[in-house]
Structure formats: C-alpha cells, structure tokens
Amino acid sequence: MSRWEYFAKRLLLTIPVLFSVLTFLFIMLRAGPIDPVAARLGPQAGAADREAIRERLGLNDPLWEQYVDFITDFLTFNFGQSWVVQAERDILDIAVSAAPATLWLGAWAILLPLFIGIPLGFYAGLNPNTLGDYTASLGGIVWQALPNFWLSVMALALLRRTREGGELLGINWYTLGPDFAARDISITGTPRLEWFSTTDVLMLPVPYISDWTALAIDIKLILPPALILGSASMAAELRIGRTAMLETVNSKFVETAKAKGLSNRVIVWKHIFRNALIPLLPVITSEAFLLIGGSVIVEQIFNINGLGRIFFQSLTQGDLPMAGALLFIFTVIILGLNILQDFLYTVIDPRVGYDQ
C-alpha cells in the first residue's frame, strides 16, 4: 500500500469515528441526568411555564426524530440556539465570538513550550548526567506535576501583589512593559485583539499590525495563562526531547558521521536534530487536546471569555445543545489534527504505511 493510499484510508476512517461521536453525544445529552428545563427556569417556575419551555425546546418530540434532527443539524454546523448559558443566541455566533481569545491563548501556549521545552530537552540530552541536565529534568518534572488550577491561582495572587509594595524580585508586573495601572486594565480579562487592521494589496485584504501598544497589552495579558496552560506540554517536550536526543546521539549513523570527520555542529543540527524531531511530532500535535481541556480551567480563573470557559459554563448549567456543539467542534478539531499529523508523518517519514 502506498503512503497516499494509507493517508486516504485514514481520512475515510474518520467518518465512522465522527458518527459514533455524534451518537454518543446524543445519548449523553438526551438521556443524561440533566434536565434542561429545570436548569433554565430555576426552582421558582410553575408547571405551566415548564411545559411551555419543554415544548419550545422540542423535548416532547419522539426520540428518533430528535436524533435525526440532531445529526443533520450538527453535520451542517447548524447548532441552533443556546438554551441556558446565552439563551436564544446562535451557538455558532457564540463560538465564533469566543474562538479568537482561545486561539490567541492556545497559540502562545504552544509556542512557549516549543521554544523553551524543546531546546532545554535537547540541551539536557546533549549533556546527559550533568548538573544542567539534572536541573532541567527535575524542573520539568516538578513543573509538570503542578496542576494548572493551582498554578493559575498562585500566579494571580503573586502578580496582583506586585501592584503596591509587594514586588516580586523587584518587578512590578503592572508597570512592566505596557503600564496596566495607568490604563486601569486588569491583569485578568479577555484580550481585545484589536491591534490589526487590513489593507488592500492588489485587491486582497492583507492584515497588518496597526497598534503596537495594543498588541503588547494583549501579549502581556496572555503570557501568564499561556505559560501555565503550556506547562504540562512544555515538560513533556523537555523529557521526550531529552530521550530522543540521547537515543539519536548513541545511534550508529552518528558514529559514522563522526568517523567521517564531520564537525560537531553539522552532526547535531543536520543529523541528530532532524531525527530527534520525529518522536516529538505526535507530542506537539496532541498538545491540542491538552490545550482544549486545560483552557477550561485557565480561562475560568483568568476570566478569559474563550471556548473553554463557555464549555465549562454550558456543562455546569445544563446547556445541552451548547455543550454538545462545542464537544463536536473539539472533536472535529482533534480529528483534523490527527489527519494533519498523519499527513506530516507521510511526508517526513517514508517508512510510514499500513503494512509493515
């Protein structure tokens, strides 16, 4: 089987996966213990009000009808309206308005570990069993062990104390860089993401950065949560990077390269680095679900109005269509990332195929 047949097969396999996810969602949402009517109305509502809402939400239709509606609506991205969290608003609208903040957070949460975790891991792998290796490895393990929830709370408590007097290492976080204190900006909150404009180049709108201060504010706002959100994957990348490096360093082709008299620099960058990246690839792509899961907590504590927080609200408030739609969107994203990962594999590693 050729590499591309393998890829096509993977692509087709996602279809049954998607369907089973949808069915599972339907069962969880409709047969689960949450009564959306009670969630929506609260304890004070009368029986007549409840019946009216039940009818309006379509909960009195036969189950198979609800199922068919559900599947067709979801496949066409027609998620309907939210029931509780933002009652009556289109779920797609809500998701679209909350997505930029999550993307902004996610992008930084992927970038930071990439540029901190991998170099540290490679450094540790190149200098095994030195003090530097031990420090980096131990630090990575401890950092990974700290729960995001705790880190977020501590980070907020530390940072807000730098405002008056209680400076951390002589740093006042509020006045560092763009001055938050003078602008009455909180260190929590949703990034506005209003620093770019578009200009027409040859009839095509091209975005450019129009407000560097706003960009700096948004970056400063997102750094602490992004660093925390990325903490787990940063540590994972560090450790896998170290192992991959160690394995590659000790492999025979490196010995050959050395015997050829190649310089250390060429060996590390051209031979070791590229080969060590292969095991890291699934780690990096699978970060996506860590980020989606983790952003629920981080967004909640840092008061960022993103997909994670909305997902959290819809789950706790029994907003079935919203929770279902977001789960579906997450599923589609993860399936997409898996396909992307397979694609990259087929491109990078010629050995990939279905039959060994």
Partner 1 sequence: MPDPANGEAVESSKRRRLLGLLGGGAAVSLAGCSDQEPSDGDDGSDGSDGEDGMDGEDGEDGEDGGDEPERTNADKAQAAWERATSNPLPEDEDLRQEAYIEMEEALRDDAGLIPLYHGLTERFWYDYVDVPLSGALGAHWQQYNTTTVEGDTDLNLVNSTFDELDPIMSTDTASSAVITQIYENLTAFPNGVPEIENQLMSEYEVSEDGTTWTFTLRDDVQFHDGTEMTAQDVKYSWRRTVESENSERASFTTNQPVGLGIDVETDDDGNVVSDSLAVEVIDDYTIEIQLSGPNPDVLDVIAYSSFAVIPEGYVGDIDGYDGEVSHQEFSTEVANGTGPFELGEFNVDEDVTVVRNDDYYGEVADVEEVNWEIIEDTQAAWTYALEQNADIFAVPTFAYEQDAIDAETDDRGREVGTYGPEGELNEEVNYLGVSEISTFYFGFNVSNTQRAVRQAIAYVMNKEQIVQDVFAGRGTPAYSFLPPAIWPTGNDGYNTFLDEYPYSLGESDLQGAQSVLQEADITSDDPVDLTLTTYESEVFQTAGELIRDLISGTGINMSLETAQFSTLQSRGEDGDLEMYSLGWIWSWPAVPYGMFQLEPLNTDTSTMPSETNGFYLDWQTQLEEEAE
Q: Measuring CA to CA, which residue among 254, 214, 224 is closest to residue 105?
A: 224
Chain residues 294-313 in contact with partner 1, contact rule CB under 8 A: 300-303, 305, 309-310, 313
DSSP three-state, residue 7? helix
Q: Is 50 in the site for partner 1 (CB under 8 A)?
A: yes
Whose structure tokens read 């001055």? 179
Residues near 289 by beta carbon (within 8 Å), at least 6 away in sequence: 330, 334
Query: Which tokens sit at 314?
Result: 């819809």
- CB contact set of 161 (below 8 Å; sequence gap of 6+): 168
Burial degree of 304 (CB within 10 A; 0-12, 13-18, 19+): buried
Stretch that binds partner 1, among 187-195, 204-212, 229-237, 238-246 (CB under 8 A): 187-195
DSSP conformational letter for 302: T
Sole binder of partner 1 in the list 44, 76, 129, 356 (CB under 8 A): 44
Q: Which of 59, 119, 163, 247 binds partner 1 (CB under 8 A)?
A: 163
6, 18, 30, 52: residue in contact with partner 1 (rule CB under 8 A): 52
For the window 190-229, what string marks contact with partner 1 as x by the rule CB under 8 A? x---------------------------------------
Among 164, 167, 194, 349, binds partner 1 (CB under 8 A): 164
**How far from 328 is each of 10, 32, 129, 215, CA to CA, in Å?**
19, 17, 45, 32
Per CB under 8 A, does 85 bind partner 1? yes
Check: CB of residue 300 under 8 Å from CB of residue 153.
no
318 binds partner 1 (CB under 8 A): yes
- The residue range among 3-11, 34-42, 135-143, 249-257 that interacts with partner 1, by the rule CB under 8 A, is 34-42
Beta-bridge mates of residue 196: 209
Binding site for partner 1 (CB under 8 A): 33-35, 37-50, 52-53, 56, 82, 85-89, 94, 97-98, 152-153, 156-157, 160-161, 163-165, 181, 184-190, 300-303, 305, 309-310, 313, 318
